[in-house]
Amino acid sequence: MLQLPHQPLQVAAVPPQRSPTREDQAGPWHSEAVCRRDEAGLFFAPSKEPTAARLAREEAAKRVCARCPVMVECREHALLQPEPYGVWGGLTAAERRVVLARRRRRELELRKAAASAGGRVAAAG
């Protein structure tokens, strides 16, 4: 949903359903998601939501995620897309940004270590 620069955002819209990144024999992972039976407003913030209300809503959404059989698939979907809004797989958008930053740092460290080990092997050979 595009907003013109001069119009204030009224309500946060639920992002359109994206294609799942993985499917298993029984169908797409999201068909088993517990949140399909809950109100989408629990997982996506309204515009200008007060901090206390946001924290309470996010905790309630995370409780739903905690009992979901496809929480890991949902979380990976949100990290791979990456989903910019809402609670997915028990993580808020801010928490997903932290996870992604940690993954990038770890990948960089592993590449540096591999390059360093490769240099030592070449020098020894």
- Token digits of residue 90: 């028990």
Contacts of residue 15, Cβ cutoff 8 Å, sequence gap at least 6: 44, 83, 84, 85, 86
CA distance 109 to 102: 10
Nearest to 71 by CA among 58, 88, 57: 88
Q: Over its length of 125 residues, how does the chain's per-residue pLDDT go in tens digits? A: 444 444 333 334 444 444 434 444 456 888 889 888 877 789 998 889 999 999 999 999 999 999 999 999 999 999 999 889 999 999 999 999 999 999 999 999 999 998 888 766 555 55
Omega cis (within 30) before 82: yes
Flag whether 117 is marked binding.
no
Flag whether 74 is marked binding.
yes
Predicted structure pTM score: 0.68
Flag whether 124 is marked binding.
no
Flag whether 73 is marked binding.
no
